[in-house]
Amino acid sequence: MHFSSSSLGCRDTAPSPRRGAMRQTAASGKASFAMSMGPSRRSPWHLEDSKGASRRAFADLTSMRRVNLSHNSFSSGLPMELMSSGSIIVLDISFNRLNGLLPEVPYLFTTERPLQVLNVSSNQFSSEFPSATWKVMKNLIALNASNNSFTGHMPSSLCIGSPSLALLDLCHNQLSGNIPNTLGNCSKLKVLKAGNNHLSGILPVEIFHATSLEYLSFPNNGLQGELDGAHMVKLSNLATLDLGGNQISGNIPVNIDHFKRLEELHLGSNNMSGELPSSLGNCTNLKTIDLKINNFSGGKGKLLRPAESKKFRSQEE
């Protein structure tokens, strides 16, 4: 499964399938079903009702593998039967009005849940972000919970329980506390986005052990400390680094040119200082640099000569 840097991102909207469509496909030699329901202008529907009818209906769909209920007006909570299904591998309920708790799947399940993709973005969830659920989600590849109001901390055991996780998007929530250093265990993680939260502390050096990272984004939080160039260069696949809108200090690492694939560098609105390293001009794939509202000094002529076509947004704007 391939993920681009914007896959399931905060500002992205997925195309809406034809409402009411249900199709039958072949999977592993067996019949499986995929249900899609596109945009609705009706009054809010309840996925969970007081009599449990919706819950029983989903529980009976034991052959369902892909469920897309995005871009509707579903309200209330998310039925546990969807989260804990023994057959669903893709569950997309983004762009609805779901609220309350995101179900904690009991860790007492004796078998792994097959869920690979979970998209609950752009709803109204306001509970503490689950922590135990991911212990039984061994097959999870992509998790998008952006654009909600989740509270609490980033889960520390996420990649321990879900070792195949490739995309994690938690941006635009109310998460607080430190970035867990256990994210360094995410050996297959390519996209990590947790901007626009209330995270604090430093960017842990362990995170640079996740060497598959291509997109690292923590803008508009309260992160402090300096960029550790000695550890950062381990991210040889990094294409986007976005740490703008924090309280990061110090210099841009002189070995920044080790990021051969770097295309976007966002460090604006921090407390960084010093001269811009001439090595930055060796990042030949760089397309966007945002360094505005810092305390950088010195000239930038050497930087711009080999890269005149780059967009350069500095504090001089």
| pLDDT exceeds 70 at position 33 | no
Identify the band that residue 83 occupies on the pLDDT scale cut at 50, 70 and 90. confident
| pLDDT exceeds 50 at position 307 | no
pLDDT of residue 285: 95
The fourth-level CATH superfamily of domain 20-223 is: Ribonuclease Inhibitor (3.80.10.10)
How many C-beta neighbours within 10 Å does residue 302 have?
A: 15
What is the reported pTM? 0.82
What is the distance, to the nearest Å, from the Cα of residue 202 to the centroid of all Cα atoms in its chain? Answer: 19
For residues 270 and 14, give the distance between their C-alpha atoms in angstroms, rounded to a whole number.
33
pLDDT in tens, 166-182: 999 999 999 999 999 99
Q: Say yes or no: do domains 20-223 and 225-317 share a fold.
A: yes
How many C-beta neighbours within 10 Å does residue 275 have?
A: 15
pLDDT of residue 56: 54
Identify the band that residue 305 occupies on the pLDDT scale cut at 50, 70 and 90. very low
**Domain edges within the chain:** 20-223, 225-317
pLDDT of residue 107: 62
Type of residue at 231: H
Q: Is the dihedral of CA 148, 123, 269, 142 positive or negative?
A: positive
pLDDT of residue 47: 59
Identify the band that residue 110 occupies on the pLDDT scale cut at 50, 70 and 90. low
Instruction: Work out whether strand 264-266 and strand 240-242 pair parallel, antiparallel, or are unpaired.
Output: parallel
For residues 194 and 149, give the distance between their C-alpha atoms in angstroms, rounded to a whole number.
13
The fourth-level CATH superfamily of domain 225-317 is: Ribonuclease Inhibitor (3.80.10.10)
* Segment (H or E) for 60: helix 53-60
What is the distance, to the nearest Å, from the Cα of residue 223 to the centroid of all Cα atoms in its chain? Answer: 18
